[in-house]
Copies of this chain bind each other. A is one copy, B any other.
Amino acid sequence: MSNVYIGLLHYPIYNKRMDVITSSITNLDLHDIARSSATYGVQRYFVIHPVEAQQALAKRILGYWTDGYGAEYNPDRYRAFQVLRLVDSLEAAFAEVEAECGQRPLLITTDARTYPNSIAYQVLRSKIQTGDQPVLILFGTGWGMVKEVMQQADYILEPIYGPGEYNHLSVRSAVAIILDRLLGEAWFSEK
């Protein structure tokens, strides 16, 4: 297990018109990101949503796979969901990391733009390997997290580029790629 935590933020985020909104929890964000988290040894995947009814919906889905028939049918999914925690705010996620590690985590956010405090993947990968401080990597939903959250970040991960200028990955794909870059085996060294 690493000292890496991730969070998926449903509030406060922007919609297309830059209004501040709350987005809905979606089934595949729970499944895909929990499976990626379990694969890369993420300590905890926080699903951050302030609305009780949305948390109840997520609990019902999780219940099926952790207590219900799904747990028996697919034990791999059961294991993935052990990593997931529902919390109602970013502060609550912070508090849980501090309670576990006795230390405030570095807050890392992600964005499709470059910022003055952008950090290269290889630099963050090394920081994680030293294990000095826990790291919480926060992902936005909708059209991205609000600027007040971005400003709290210690570092902002560089955007992910392919060969062209199109970079509109789903959050599920972005999480997978970022965890692979930060925590995956070093497939890129000489073999």
Interfacial residues, chain A to chain B (CB-CB below 8 A): 1-2, 28, 31-32, 35-36, 38-41, 76-77, 79-80, 120-123, 158, 160-164, 166-170, 172-177, 179-181, 183-188, 190-191
Contacts and interface: CB of A to CB of B under 8 A. Distances in A.
A181 B180 contact: yes
A114 B188 CA distance: 18
A121 B36 contact: no
Contacts of A2: 163
A168 B39 contact: yes
B166 A76 contact: yes
**How many copies of this chain does the complex contain?**
2
A147 to B, nearest CB: 21
Most chain B beta carbons < 10 A, residue from A2, A123, A172, A179 = A172
30 contacts: A1-B163, A2-B163, A28-B28, A28-B170, A36-B170, A38-B164, A38-B168, A39-B160, A39-B162, A39-B164, A39-B166, A39-B167, A39-B169, A40-B162, A76-B168, A77-B168, A80-B166, A80-B168, A122-B188, A122-B190, A162-B184, A163-B185, A170-B172, A172-B172, A172-B173, A174-B176, A176-B176, A176-B177, A177-B177, A180-B181
